[in-house]
A = this chain, B = another copy of it.
Amino acid sequence: MGTPQLTKNQSLVMGALAHSDGPLSAYTILDKLRDQGFRAPLQVYRALDKLLEYGLVHRLESLNAFVACTCPHEHEHDHGVTAFTICEGCGQVTEFHDEAIEQRLSALVRAQSFKTEKTTIEIRGHCKSCA
């Protein structure tokens, strides 16, 4: 079961995120898509829910915003934990993955007999250019 064909609304939201150079809030997406007929937040949130489910989009919890996934070739295999650096200066977000962290977290959590459903790792700071 891969990624199904996107609906019109899902494609529009995906396009807005893919063409943005940084994260977008749901309401910012709404504003960008008003010319395409969007009128209400739910149109955005419903599309985002599906895109998140398909793994095409990530939610940045510390920003209440969304970014397109930057691993376009890996949408099939669940590529485990995703981490982000988020620059407070320019807003740039960089996605990365690391096996070692994933395994270490997995071990710590297992020691609590805790069953992980979703892991959030977000690092706020300043990128090279904005230091």
Contacts and interface: CB of A to CB of B under 8 A. Distances in A.
Interface string A60-99: 0110000000000000000000010101100000101010
A1 interface: no
Contacts of A114: 85, 87, 94, 123, 125-128
A104 to B, nearest CB: 5
What's the interface size class on A, roughly?
A: 20 to 34
Copies in the complex: 2
Interface string A107-120: 01100111111111
Contacts of A120: 61-62, 120-124
A93 to B, nearest CB: 11
A113 B131 contact: yes
